[in-house]
Amino acid sequence: MDSAPTLDLASFLQAASEFASYPGAVNDAAAKEFLNRFPLPVLFGVLQMEVDVPKLEDTTVACLNRILRTGYGSSLLLQYIVFLQAGLRASSESIRCLACKSVYYILENNEDKEAAAKIIIEHDICPLLIHCLLDGNEGTFSASMSAIQSIAKSAEGINAIFPSGSEDPLELKNIAGHCSSLARIRILALIKELFSLSENVASLIYSSNLLKLFEVEINGRSDMLTILSALEILYELAESPHSAKFLLKTSLLQLLTVMISNDTVDSILRSRAMLISGRLLSTPAALKAIDPSRINALLLTIDGRLNLVESQSLDEVENAVEAVGRVGSSADGAALLLTSLSLMVKHVVELAFDRQGRGKQLAALHTLGSIAGADRSNESVLLNKSAEECLKRMIYEAAVSSPKLTPSGLFLSILQQEPEMRLAAYRLITVLSARKWCLMELCSKLEITSIVMDANIEDTKMGMEARHRCCAAIYHSLSASNMITDAKVANLAEQLQEAVKRGPYQVKKRIEAQPIVITADRF
Protein backbone atom coordinates (compact mmCIF):
# COMPACT_ATOMS: atom_id res chain seq x y z
CA MET A 1 0.00 0.00 0.00
CA ASP A 2 2.82 2.44 0.90
CA SER A 3 4.51 1.88 -2.44
CA ALA A 4 1.35 2.50 -4.47
CA PRO A 5 1.58 6.35 -4.44
CA THR A 6 5.14 6.27 -5.86
CA LEU A 7 4.21 3.74 -8.51
CA ASP A 8 4.83 4.76 -12.12
CA LEU A 9 1.26 4.20 -13.30
CA ALA A 10 2.15 4.45 -16.99
CA SER A 11 4.78 1.70 -16.73
CA PHE A 12 2.54 -0.39 -14.50
CA LEU A 13 -0.44 -0.04 -16.86
CA GLN A 14 1.66 -1.16 -19.82
CA ALA A 15 3.05 -4.18 -17.92
CA ALA A 16 -0.37 -5.15 -16.54
CA SER A 17 -1.98 -4.79 -19.95
CA GLU A 18 0.65 -7.04 -21.57
CA PHE A 19 0.28 -9.61 -18.79
CA ALA A 20 -3.53 -9.59 -18.92
CA SER A 21 -3.65 -9.97 -22.71
CA TYR A 22 -0.83 -12.50 -23.05
CA PRO A 23 -2.21 -15.50 -25.02
CA GLY A 24 -2.53 -18.86 -23.31
CA ALA A 25 -2.81 -19.85 -19.68
CA VAL A 26 -0.66 -18.22 -17.00
CA ASN A 27 1.50 -20.63 -14.99
CA ASP A 28 2.90 -20.26 -11.48
CA ALA A 29 6.29 -19.10 -12.71
CA ALA A 30 4.80 -16.26 -14.76
CA ALA A 31 2.56 -15.19 -11.88
CA LYS A 32 5.49 -15.22 -9.47
CA GLU A 33 7.66 -13.18 -11.83
CA PHE A 34 4.98 -10.51 -12.18
CA LEU A 35 4.35 -10.38 -8.43
CA ASN A 36 8.05 -9.92 -7.81
CA ARG A 37 7.75 -6.67 -9.77
CA PHE A 38 4.32 -5.70 -8.46
CA PRO A 39 3.43 -7.44 -5.16
CA LEU A 40 -0.20 -8.11 -4.29
CA PRO A 41 -0.46 -5.17 -1.83
CA VAL A 42 0.63 -2.87 -4.67
CA LEU A 43 -2.03 -4.30 -7.00
CA PHE A 44 -4.71 -4.04 -4.34
CA GLY A 45 -3.55 -0.52 -3.62
CA VAL A 46 -3.96 0.45 -7.26
CA LEU A 47 -7.60 -0.62 -7.10
CA GLN A 48 -8.12 1.69 -4.12
CA MET A 49 -6.51 4.70 -5.77
CA GLU A 50 -8.80 7.52 -6.81
CA VAL A 51 -7.13 8.62 -10.02
CA ASP A 52 -8.56 9.35 -13.43
CA VAL A 53 -6.51 6.96 -15.54
CA PRO A 54 -8.43 5.28 -18.39
CA LYS A 55 -8.70 1.48 -18.16
CA LEU A 56 -6.60 1.37 -14.98
CA GLU A 57 -9.20 -0.50 -12.93
CA ASP A 58 -10.26 -2.88 -15.72
CA THR A 59 -6.66 -3.74 -16.61
CA THR A 60 -5.66 -4.29 -12.98
CA VAL A 61 -8.69 -6.49 -12.37
CA ALA A 62 -7.95 -8.55 -15.50
CA CYS A 63 -4.32 -8.88 -14.45
CA LEU A 64 -5.22 -9.94 -10.89
CA ASN A 65 -7.77 -12.43 -12.17
CA ARG A 66 -5.10 -14.24 -14.19
CA ILE A 67 -2.64 -14.20 -11.28
CA LEU A 68 -5.08 -15.36 -8.59
CA ARG A 69 -6.36 -18.15 -10.82
CA THR A 70 -2.95 -19.85 -10.50
CA GLY A 71 -2.04 -22.05 -7.57
CA TYR A 72 0.76 -19.70 -6.57
CA GLY A 73 -1.41 -16.58 -6.70
CA SER A 74 -4.31 -18.09 -4.79
CA SER A 75 -1.96 -19.48 -2.11
CA LEU A 76 -1.10 -15.89 -1.13
CA LEU A 77 -4.66 -14.69 -0.80
CA LEU A 78 -5.32 -15.88 2.74
CA GLN A 79 -2.60 -13.47 3.91
CA TYR A 80 -4.67 -10.61 2.50
CA ILE A 81 -8.15 -11.57 3.69
CA VAL A 82 -8.79 -7.93 4.71
CA PHE A 83 -8.39 -6.89 1.08
CA LEU A 84 -10.96 -9.56 0.13
CA GLN A 85 -13.42 -8.12 2.61
CA ALA A 86 -12.86 -4.66 1.17
CA GLY A 87 -13.27 -6.00 -2.36
CA LEU A 88 -16.59 -7.67 -1.52
CA ARG A 89 -17.85 -4.35 -0.12
CA ALA A 90 -16.60 -2.28 -3.06
CA SER A 91 -18.98 -0.19 -5.14
CA SER A 92 -17.27 -1.33 -8.36
CA GLU A 93 -18.90 -4.40 -9.88
CA SER A 94 -15.66 -5.58 -11.48
CA ILE A 95 -13.82 -5.45 -8.13
CA ARG A 96 -16.66 -7.23 -6.31
CA CYS A 97 -16.72 -9.91 -9.00
CA LEU A 98 -12.94 -10.36 -8.68
CA ALA A 99 -13.25 -10.69 -4.90
CA CYS A 100 -15.93 -13.40 -5.29
CA LYS A 101 -13.74 -15.26 -7.76
CA SER A 102 -10.80 -14.94 -5.36
CA VAL A 103 -12.74 -16.79 -2.65
CA TYR A 104 -13.44 -19.54 -5.17
CA TYR A 105 -9.76 -19.70 -6.20
CA ILE A 106 -8.65 -20.02 -2.57
CA LEU A 107 -10.90 -23.01 -1.91
CA GLU A 108 -10.39 -24.78 -5.22
CA ASN A 109 -6.60 -24.52 -5.24
CA ASN A 110 -5.84 -25.01 -1.53
CA GLU A 111 -4.84 -28.52 -0.49
CA ASP A 112 -6.17 -27.99 3.05
CA LYS A 113 -9.69 -26.90 2.09
CA GLU A 114 -11.03 -27.24 5.62
CA ALA A 115 -8.42 -24.84 7.02
CA ALA A 116 -9.01 -22.39 4.17
CA ALA A 117 -12.77 -22.54 4.66
CA LYS A 118 -12.34 -21.95 8.39
CA ILE A 119 -10.35 -18.75 7.81
CA ILE A 120 -12.90 -17.51 5.29
CA ILE A 121 -15.80 -18.21 7.65
CA GLU A 122 -14.05 -16.64 10.64
CA HIS A 123 -13.72 -13.40 8.69
CA ASP A 124 -17.47 -13.29 7.90
CA ILE A 125 -16.99 -13.69 4.17
CA CYS A 126 -20.24 -15.69 3.69
CA PRO A 127 -22.65 -12.80 4.46
CA LEU A 128 -20.67 -10.57 2.10
CA LEU A 129 -20.94 -13.20 -0.66
CA ILE A 130 -24.69 -13.38 -0.09
CA HIS A 131 -24.90 -9.61 -0.47
CA CYS A 132 -22.98 -9.83 -3.77
CA LEU A 133 -25.24 -12.64 -4.94
CA LEU A 134 -28.39 -10.62 -4.26
CA ASP A 135 -27.28 -7.19 -5.44
CA GLY A 136 -24.53 -7.77 -7.99
CA ASN A 137 -24.75 -7.86 -11.76
CA GLU A 138 -24.83 -11.18 -13.62
CA GLY A 139 -21.06 -11.63 -13.45
CA THR A 140 -20.90 -10.95 -9.72
CA PHE A 141 -23.94 -13.15 -9.10
CA SER A 142 -22.35 -16.07 -10.93
CA ALA A 143 -18.98 -15.63 -9.20
CA SER A 144 -20.54 -15.40 -5.73
CA MET A 145 -22.63 -18.50 -6.46
CA SER A 146 -19.50 -20.49 -7.33
CA ALA A 147 -17.75 -19.24 -4.20
CA ILE A 148 -20.62 -20.22 -1.90
CA GLN A 149 -20.79 -23.66 -3.55
CA SER A 150 -17.07 -24.15 -2.90
CA ILE A 151 -17.54 -23.21 0.75
CA ALA A 152 -20.43 -25.67 1.05
CA LYS A 153 -18.24 -28.54 -0.19
CA SER A 154 -16.25 -28.49 3.05
CA ALA A 155 -17.42 -29.68 6.46
CA GLU A 156 -16.51 -26.28 7.93
CA GLY A 157 -18.56 -24.60 5.26
CA ILE A 158 -21.57 -26.84 5.77
CA ASN A 159 -21.54 -26.13 9.51
CA ALA A 160 -21.37 -22.41 8.82
CA ILE A 161 -24.10 -22.35 6.19
CA PHE A 162 -26.32 -24.74 8.11
CA PRO A 163 -25.46 -24.14 11.79
CA SER A 164 -26.81 -26.71 14.24
CA GLY A 165 -30.15 -25.68 15.73
CA SER A 166 -30.72 -22.87 13.23
CA GLU A 167 -33.83 -22.98 11.08
CA ASP A 168 -32.67 -20.13 8.86
CA PRO A 169 -29.15 -20.69 7.49
CA LEU A 170 -27.62 -17.45 6.22
CA GLU A 171 -31.02 -15.89 7.04
CA LEU A 172 -32.17 -16.68 3.50
CA LYS A 173 -35.83 -17.02 4.47
CA ASN A 174 -35.71 -13.72 6.31
CA ILE A 175 -33.99 -11.98 3.38
CA ALA A 176 -36.47 -13.46 0.87
CA GLY A 177 -39.34 -11.96 2.83
CA HIS A 178 -38.44 -8.37 2.01
CA CYS A 179 -36.13 -8.32 -1.02
CA SER A 180 -36.82 -7.73 -4.72
CA SER A 181 -38.23 -10.39 -7.02
CA LEU A 182 -34.83 -10.71 -8.76
CA ALA A 183 -33.12 -11.30 -5.42
CA ARG A 184 -35.73 -13.92 -4.46
CA ILE A 185 -35.14 -15.79 -7.70
CA ARG A 186 -31.40 -15.69 -7.05
CA ILE A 187 -31.98 -17.18 -3.61
CA LEU A 188 -33.92 -20.02 -5.24
CA ALA A 189 -31.08 -20.51 -7.72
CA LEU A 190 -28.61 -20.76 -4.82
CA ILE A 191 -30.81 -23.31 -3.05
CA LYS A 192 -30.97 -25.34 -6.25
CA GLU A 193 -27.18 -25.36 -6.67
CA LEU A 194 -26.56 -26.29 -3.04
CA PHE A 195 -29.29 -28.95 -3.12
CA SER A 196 -27.50 -30.74 -5.97
CA LEU A 197 -24.14 -30.93 -4.17
CA SER A 198 -24.94 -33.99 -2.07
CA GLU A 199 -27.73 -35.83 -0.30
CA ASN A 200 -26.44 -34.48 3.01
CA VAL A 201 -26.78 -30.86 1.84
CA ALA A 202 -30.18 -31.63 0.30
CA SER A 203 -31.31 -33.03 3.64
CA LEU A 204 -30.14 -29.89 5.45
CA ILE A 205 -32.00 -27.70 2.97
CA TYR A 206 -35.15 -29.73 3.49
CA SER A 207 -34.75 -29.67 7.29
CA SER A 208 -34.23 -25.92 7.18
CA ASN A 209 -37.56 -25.58 5.34
CA LEU A 210 -35.88 -23.67 2.52
CA LEU A 211 -37.89 -25.58 -0.10
CA LYS A 212 -40.89 -23.70 1.27
CA LEU A 213 -39.56 -20.64 -0.60
CA PHE A 214 -40.44 -22.35 -3.89
CA GLU A 215 -44.00 -22.89 -2.72
CA VAL A 216 -44.31 -19.26 -1.60
CA GLU A 217 -42.99 -17.94 -4.92
CA ILE A 218 -45.05 -20.22 -7.14
CA ASN A 219 -48.18 -19.65 -5.12
CA GLY A 220 -47.74 -15.88 -5.25
CA ARG A 221 -49.51 -15.55 -8.60
CA SER A 222 -48.74 -11.82 -8.67
CA ASP A 223 -45.89 -11.68 -11.18
CA MET A 224 -46.02 -14.18 -14.03
CA LEU A 225 -42.37 -13.67 -14.99
CA THR A 226 -41.20 -14.32 -11.43
CA ILE A 227 -43.41 -17.41 -11.13
CA LEU A 228 -42.11 -18.72 -14.44
CA SER A 229 -38.50 -18.15 -13.30
CA ALA A 230 -39.22 -20.05 -10.08
CA LEU A 231 -40.74 -22.90 -12.08
CA GLU A 232 -37.70 -23.04 -14.35
CA ILE A 233 -35.39 -23.36 -11.33
CA LEU A 234 -37.68 -25.99 -9.81
CA TYR A 235 -37.55 -27.89 -13.12
CA GLU A 236 -33.74 -28.03 -12.82
CA LEU A 237 -33.99 -28.91 -9.13
CA ALA A 238 -36.29 -31.83 -9.98
CA GLU A 239 -33.47 -33.33 -12.07
CA SER A 240 -31.33 -33.80 -8.97
CA PRO A 241 -30.97 -37.42 -7.83
CA HIS A 242 -32.20 -36.31 -4.39
CA SER A 243 -35.41 -34.70 -5.65
CA ALA A 244 -37.69 -37.71 -5.12
CA LYS A 245 -36.56 -38.15 -1.56
CA PHE A 246 -37.15 -34.57 -0.44
CA LEU A 247 -39.27 -32.60 -2.90
CA LEU A 248 -42.12 -35.10 -2.75
CA LYS A 249 -42.34 -34.61 1.01
CA THR A 250 -43.39 -31.00 0.46
CA SER A 251 -46.66 -29.60 -0.88
CA LEU A 252 -45.10 -28.83 -4.26
CA LEU A 253 -46.73 -31.72 -6.11
CA GLN A 254 -50.17 -30.73 -4.82
CA LEU A 255 -49.48 -27.12 -5.75
CA LEU A 256 -48.48 -28.15 -9.29
CA THR A 257 -51.64 -30.24 -9.62
CA VAL A 258 -53.79 -27.24 -8.70
CA MET A 259 -51.90 -25.04 -11.16
CA ILE A 260 -52.37 -27.52 -14.02
CA SER A 261 -56.11 -27.84 -13.41
CA ASN A 262 -56.71 -24.08 -13.11
CA ASP A 263 -57.95 -22.59 -16.39
CA THR A 264 -57.22 -19.07 -15.14
CA VAL A 265 -53.50 -19.84 -14.93
CA ASP A 266 -51.54 -18.94 -18.07
CA SER A 267 -50.92 -21.93 -20.34
CA ILE A 268 -47.15 -21.33 -20.21
CA LEU A 269 -47.19 -21.81 -16.44
CA ARG A 270 -49.42 -24.89 -16.73
CA SER A 271 -47.02 -26.34 -19.30
CA ARG A 272 -44.00 -25.90 -17.06
CA ALA A 273 -45.94 -27.34 -14.12
CA MET A 274 -46.70 -30.46 -16.18
CA LEU A 275 -43.07 -30.93 -17.21
CA ILE A 276 -41.89 -30.54 -13.62
CA SER A 277 -44.48 -33.06 -12.46
CA GLY A 278 -43.38 -35.54 -15.09
CA ARG A 279 -39.75 -35.14 -14.08
CA LEU A 280 -40.60 -35.58 -10.39
CA LEU A 281 -42.39 -38.86 -11.13
CA SER A 282 -39.82 -40.22 -13.58
CA THR A 283 -38.17 -42.71 -11.22
CA PRO A 284 -39.42 -45.80 -9.38
CA ALA A 285 -38.28 -44.23 -6.10
CA ALA A 286 -40.53 -41.24 -6.73
CA LEU A 287 -43.54 -43.41 -7.53
CA LYS A 288 -43.04 -45.32 -4.28
CA ALA A 289 -42.44 -42.20 -2.20
CA ILE A 290 -45.95 -40.77 -2.34
CA ASP A 291 -49.50 -41.95 -2.00
CA PRO A 292 -50.89 -43.52 -5.23
CA SER A 293 -54.01 -41.37 -4.98
CA ARG A 294 -51.88 -38.22 -5.28
CA ILE A 295 -50.10 -39.63 -8.33
CA ASN A 296 -53.41 -40.56 -9.96
CA ALA A 297 -54.86 -37.12 -9.21
CA LEU A 298 -51.92 -35.41 -10.87
CA LEU A 299 -51.83 -37.68 -13.91
CA LEU A 300 -55.58 -37.42 -14.43
CA THR A 301 -55.22 -33.65 -14.32
CA ILE A 302 -52.56 -33.82 -17.05
CA ASP A 303 -54.78 -36.22 -19.00
CA GLY A 304 -57.54 -33.63 -18.81
CA ARG A 305 -55.30 -31.32 -20.81
CA LEU A 306 -54.67 -34.05 -23.38
CA ASN A 307 -58.36 -34.81 -23.70
CA LEU A 308 -59.22 -31.21 -24.50
CA VAL A 309 -56.86 -31.00 -27.44
CA GLU A 310 -58.95 -28.67 -29.57
CA SER A 311 -59.25 -26.02 -26.87
CA GLN A 312 -55.62 -26.06 -25.71
CA SER A 313 -52.54 -24.36 -27.11
CA LEU A 314 -50.22 -26.56 -29.14
CA ASP A 315 -47.34 -26.08 -26.69
CA GLU A 316 -49.51 -27.11 -23.77
CA VAL A 317 -50.57 -30.33 -25.45
CA GLU A 318 -46.99 -31.17 -26.43
CA ASN A 319 -45.78 -30.51 -22.88
CA ALA A 320 -48.59 -32.65 -21.45
CA VAL A 321 -47.54 -35.48 -23.77
CA GLU A 322 -43.88 -35.03 -22.79
CA ALA A 323 -44.81 -35.14 -19.10
CA VAL A 324 -46.54 -38.49 -19.67
CA GLY A 325 -43.39 -39.72 -21.40
CA ARG A 326 -41.30 -38.75 -18.40
CA VAL A 327 -43.51 -40.81 -16.10
CA GLY A 328 -43.53 -43.72 -18.54
CA SER A 329 -39.75 -43.77 -18.95
CA SER A 330 -39.36 -46.13 -15.98
CA ALA A 331 -40.82 -49.65 -16.07
CA ASP A 332 -42.89 -48.93 -12.96
CA GLY A 333 -44.20 -45.70 -14.46
CA ALA A 334 -45.06 -47.34 -17.78
CA ALA A 335 -46.89 -50.19 -16.04
CA LEU A 336 -48.80 -47.70 -13.91
CA LEU A 337 -49.90 -45.71 -16.95
CA LEU A 338 -50.92 -48.77 -18.98
CA THR A 339 -52.84 -50.56 -16.24
CA SER A 340 -54.28 -47.80 -14.05
CA LEU A 341 -54.44 -44.85 -16.45
CA SER A 342 -54.95 -46.57 -19.77
CA LEU A 343 -57.17 -43.78 -21.09
CA MET A 344 -54.21 -41.40 -20.86
CA VAL A 345 -52.02 -43.76 -22.89
CA LYS A 346 -54.84 -44.20 -25.39
CA HIS A 347 -54.83 -40.45 -26.01
CA VAL A 348 -51.06 -40.58 -26.54
CA VAL A 349 -51.35 -43.50 -29.00
CA GLU A 350 -54.06 -41.69 -30.95
CA LEU A 351 -51.93 -38.57 -31.21
CA ALA A 352 -48.86 -40.62 -32.21
CA PHE A 353 -50.53 -41.82 -35.39
CA ASP A 354 -52.60 -38.72 -36.12
CA ARG A 355 -51.09 -36.71 -38.96
CA GLN A 356 -53.31 -33.69 -38.31
CA GLY A 357 -50.86 -32.03 -35.94
CA ARG A 358 -47.15 -32.51 -36.66
CA GLY A 359 -45.84 -31.15 -33.33
CA LYS A 360 -48.33 -33.16 -31.29
CA GLN A 361 -47.65 -36.30 -33.31
CA LEU A 362 -43.88 -35.97 -32.91
CA ALA A 363 -44.17 -35.49 -29.13
CA ALA A 364 -46.58 -38.41 -28.85
CA LEU A 365 -44.31 -40.74 -30.86
CA HIS A 366 -41.41 -39.98 -28.52
CA THR A 367 -43.65 -40.48 -25.49
CA LEU A 368 -44.97 -43.79 -26.82
CA GLY A 369 -41.35 -44.82 -27.40
CA SER A 370 -40.53 -43.97 -23.78
CA ILE A 371 -43.48 -46.00 -22.50
CA ALA A 372 -42.42 -48.92 -24.73
CA GLY A 373 -38.91 -48.83 -23.23
CA ALA A 374 -36.68 -46.51 -25.29
CA ASP A 375 -35.21 -44.95 -22.13
CA ARG A 376 -34.77 -48.24 -20.28
CA SER A 377 -32.09 -50.93 -20.35
CA ASN A 378 -32.67 -53.97 -22.55
CA GLU A 379 -33.62 -56.04 -19.50
CA SER A 380 -36.40 -53.59 -18.57
CA VAL A 381 -37.93 -52.95 -21.99
CA LEU A 382 -40.69 -55.54 -21.57
CA LEU A 383 -43.34 -54.89 -18.91
CA ASN A 384 -45.60 -57.19 -16.95
CA LYS A 385 -48.16 -59.26 -18.85
CA SER A 386 -51.10 -56.98 -18.12
CA ALA A 387 -49.26 -53.84 -19.23
CA GLU A 388 -47.96 -55.55 -22.39
CA GLU A 389 -51.46 -56.70 -23.36
CA CYS A 390 -52.76 -53.17 -22.85
CA LEU A 391 -50.02 -51.67 -25.03
CA LYS A 392 -50.67 -54.20 -27.79
CA ARG A 393 -54.44 -53.67 -27.66
CA MET A 394 -54.17 -49.89 -27.88
CA ILE A 395 -51.91 -49.95 -30.93
CA TYR A 396 -54.19 -52.44 -32.71
CA GLU A 397 -57.24 -50.36 -31.83
CA ALA A 398 -55.56 -47.24 -33.20
CA ALA A 399 -54.77 -49.12 -36.41
CA VAL A 400 -58.29 -50.48 -36.86
CA SER A 401 -59.81 -47.02 -36.44
CA SER A 402 -57.40 -45.54 -39.01
CA PRO A 403 -57.27 -45.92 -42.82
CA LYS A 404 -54.13 -48.05 -42.41
CA LEU A 405 -56.06 -50.86 -40.62
CA THR A 406 -52.95 -52.63 -39.27
CA PRO A 407 -50.03 -51.64 -37.02
CA SER A 408 -47.66 -52.36 -39.90
CA GLY A 409 -49.54 -49.78 -41.94
CA LEU A 410 -49.16 -47.24 -39.14
CA PHE A 411 -45.42 -47.94 -38.81
CA LEU A 412 -44.88 -47.59 -42.55
CA SER A 413 -46.82 -44.35 -42.56
CA ILE A 414 -44.58 -42.67 -39.96
CA LEU A 415 -41.44 -44.04 -41.63
CA GLN A 416 -42.50 -42.33 -44.86
CA GLN A 417 -42.70 -38.90 -43.28
CA GLU A 418 -39.99 -36.23 -42.94
CA PRO A 419 -36.60 -36.95 -41.27
CA GLU A 420 -37.50 -35.70 -37.77
CA MET A 421 -40.60 -37.89 -37.72
CA ARG A 422 -38.58 -40.86 -38.96
CA LEU A 423 -36.19 -40.42 -36.04
CA ALA A 424 -39.08 -40.81 -33.62
CA ALA A 425 -40.36 -43.77 -35.68
CA TYR A 426 -36.98 -45.55 -35.55
CA ARG A 427 -36.87 -44.99 -31.78
CA LEU A 428 -40.35 -46.45 -31.31
CA ILE A 429 -39.91 -49.42 -33.65
CA THR A 430 -36.52 -50.27 -32.10
CA VAL A 431 -38.14 -51.13 -28.76
CA LEU A 432 -41.45 -52.42 -30.08
CA SER A 433 -39.58 -54.99 -32.16
CA ALA A 434 -38.78 -56.79 -28.90
CA ARG A 435 -42.48 -57.84 -28.87
CA LYS A 436 -43.30 -60.83 -31.08
CA TRP A 437 -46.63 -59.38 -32.22
CA CYS A 438 -44.85 -56.25 -33.45
CA LEU A 439 -42.04 -58.26 -35.04
CA MET A 440 -44.63 -60.14 -37.09
CA GLU A 441 -46.19 -56.85 -38.17
CA LEU A 442 -42.82 -55.45 -39.21
CA CYS A 443 -42.00 -58.52 -41.27
CA SER A 444 -45.40 -58.48 -42.95
CA LYS A 445 -44.54 -55.34 -44.92
CA LEU A 446 -41.30 -55.48 -46.85
CA GLU A 447 -41.49 -51.71 -47.37
CA ILE A 448 -40.72 -51.27 -43.63
CA THR A 449 -37.61 -53.45 -43.62
CA SER A 450 -36.52 -51.93 -46.93
CA ILE A 451 -36.49 -48.50 -45.32
CA VAL A 452 -34.54 -49.57 -42.20
CA MET A 453 -32.00 -51.40 -44.39
CA ASP A 454 -31.51 -48.47 -46.79
CA ALA A 455 -28.24 -46.75 -45.89
CA ASN A 456 -28.98 -43.91 -48.29
CA ILE A 457 -32.32 -42.81 -46.88
CA GLU A 458 -30.81 -40.64 -44.11
CA ASP A 459 -28.32 -37.82 -44.62
CA THR A 460 -27.55 -36.86 -41.01
CA LYS A 461 -25.37 -38.70 -38.49
CA MET A 462 -28.23 -38.92 -35.98
CA GLY A 463 -30.61 -40.27 -38.59
CA MET A 464 -28.14 -42.84 -39.90
CA GLU A 465 -27.39 -44.15 -36.42
CA ALA A 466 -31.08 -44.31 -35.41
CA ARG A 467 -31.93 -46.22 -38.60
CA HIS A 468 -29.06 -48.65 -38.01
CA ARG A 469 -30.09 -49.26 -34.38
CA CYS A 470 -33.61 -49.98 -35.57
CA CYS A 471 -32.33 -52.38 -38.23
CA ALA A 472 -30.12 -54.18 -35.69
CA ALA A 473 -32.95 -54.46 -33.18
CA ILE A 474 -35.28 -56.06 -35.72
CA TYR A 475 -32.53 -58.45 -36.82
CA HIS A 476 -31.63 -59.56 -33.28
CA SER A 477 -35.29 -60.05 -32.32
CA LEU A 478 -35.90 -62.01 -35.49
CA SER A 479 -32.82 -64.20 -34.96
CA ALA A 480 -33.95 -65.04 -31.42
CA SER A 481 -37.49 -65.96 -32.49
CA ASN A 482 -38.93 -69.17 -33.89
CA MET A 483 -40.06 -67.24 -36.97
CA ILE A 484 -36.60 -67.80 -38.44
CA THR A 485 -37.62 -71.34 -39.44
CA ASP A 486 -39.74 -69.88 -42.25
CA ALA A 487 -37.73 -69.65 -45.49
CA LYS A 488 -38.94 -66.13 -46.36
CA VAL A 489 -38.23 -64.87 -42.88
CA ALA A 490 -34.79 -66.52 -42.93
CA ASN A 491 -34.03 -64.74 -46.20
CA LEU A 492 -35.15 -61.43 -44.68
CA ALA A 493 -32.95 -62.07 -41.65
CA GLU A 494 -29.93 -62.54 -43.94
CA GLN A 495 -30.66 -59.22 -45.63
CA LEU A 496 -31.01 -57.49 -42.28
CA GLN A 497 -27.74 -59.06 -41.10
CA GLU A 498 -25.93 -57.70 -44.15
CA ALA A 499 -27.40 -54.26 -43.54
CA VAL A 500 -26.27 -54.37 -39.92
CA LYS A 501 -22.74 -55.38 -40.99
CA ARG A 502 -22.55 -52.45 -43.39
CA GLY A 503 -22.83 -50.11 -40.43
CA PRO A 504 -24.89 -46.97 -39.94
CA TYR A 505 -23.22 -44.71 -42.47
CA GLN A 506 -23.48 -44.49 -46.21
CA VAL A 507 -20.92 -46.68 -47.94
CA LYS A 508 -19.88 -45.47 -51.33
CA LYS A 509 -19.73 -48.24 -53.84
CA ARG A 510 -16.35 -48.76 -55.40
CA ILE A 511 -16.34 -47.40 -58.94
CA GLU A 512 -14.04 -49.23 -61.29
CA ALA A 513 -12.24 -47.23 -63.95
CA GLN A 514 -13.91 -47.73 -67.33
CA PRO A 515 -12.02 -47.43 -70.63
CA ILE A 516 -13.45 -44.84 -72.96
CA VAL A 517 -13.05 -45.27 -76.72
CA ILE A 518 -13.43 -42.14 -78.81
CA THR A 519 -12.62 -41.29 -82.38
CA ALA A 520 -9.46 -39.33 -83.04
CA ASP A 521 -9.71 -35.64 -83.83
CA ARG A 522 -8.95 -34.92 -87.49
CA PHE A 523 -7.96 -31.67 -89.05
Task: Please write the tens of the pLDDT for every residue from 21-79.
Answer: 888 788 889 889 989 988 899 888 888 887 777 788 899 999 999 999 999 989 898 88
Question: Taking residues 245-254, what's their average pLDDT?
Answer: 87
Rounded Cα–Cα distance for residues 162 and 147 (Å): 16
Q: Check: CB of residue 321 under 8 Å from CB of residue 280.
A: no
Q: Check: CB of residue 207 under 8 Å from CB of residue 243.
A: no
When divided into structural domains, the chain yields a total of 1
Residue-level pLDDT at 1: 40
- End-to-end Cα, the chain, rounded Å: 95
Q: Check: CB of residue 373 under 8 Å from CB of residue 381.
A: yes
314: confidence class by pLDDT, cuts 50, 70, 90: low
Residue 445, in any domain of the structure: yes
Residue-level pLDDT at 168: 54
Among 88-92, 217-221, 306-310, 451-455, whose mean pLDDT is lowest? Answer: 306-310
**What does the mean pLDDT of the chain come to?**
86
Residue 423, in any domain of the structure: yes
Residue-level pLDDT at 2: 44
Residue-level pLDDT at 4: 42
Among 158-167, 171-180, 331-340, 510-519, whose mean pLDDT is lowest? Answer: 510-519
Residue 259, in any domain of the structure: no
What domain range is 479 assigned to?
403-503
150: confidence class by pLDDT, cuts 50, 70, 90: very high
288: confidence class by pLDDT, cuts 50, 70, 90: confident
Residue-level pLDDT at 387: 93
Strongest mean pLDDT among 280-284, 373-377, 402-406: 373-377
Residue 493, in any domain of the structure: yes
Residue 429, in any domain of the structure: yes
Higher pLDDT, 369 or 23: 369
- The pLDDT of residue 169 is above 70: no
523: confidence class by pLDDT, cuts 50, 70, 90: very low
- The pLDDT of residue 12 is above 80: yes
Residue 443, in any domain of the structure: yes
Residue 410, in any domain of the structure: yes
Rounded Cα–Cα distance for residues 224 and 516 (Å): 74
Rounded Cα–Cα distance for residues 31 and 28 (Å): 5
Residue-level pLDDT at 178: 81
Residue-level pLDDT at 518: 58
Residue-level pLDDT at 110: 85
For 65-100, give one letter per residue: b (16+ CB within 10 A) or e: bbbbbbebbbbbbeebbebbebbbebeeebbbbbbb
3-state DSSP percent of the chain in helix, strand and coil, to 5: 75, 0, 25
Residue 69, in any domain of the structure: no
Task: Please write the tens of the pLDDT for every residue from 387-404.
Answer: 999 999 999 998 888 888
Question: Taking residues 212-218, what's their average pLDDT?
Answer: 90
Among 26-35, 259-268, 500-509, whose mean pLDDT is lowest? Answer: 500-509
Rounded Cα–Cα distance for residues 463 and 422 (Å): 8
Q: Where are the alpha helices (DSSP H) in 385-460?
A: 385-400, 407-415, 419-432, 436-444, 446-453
Task: Please write the tens of the pLDDT for every residue from 174-198.
Answer: 787 788 889 999 999 999 999 999 9
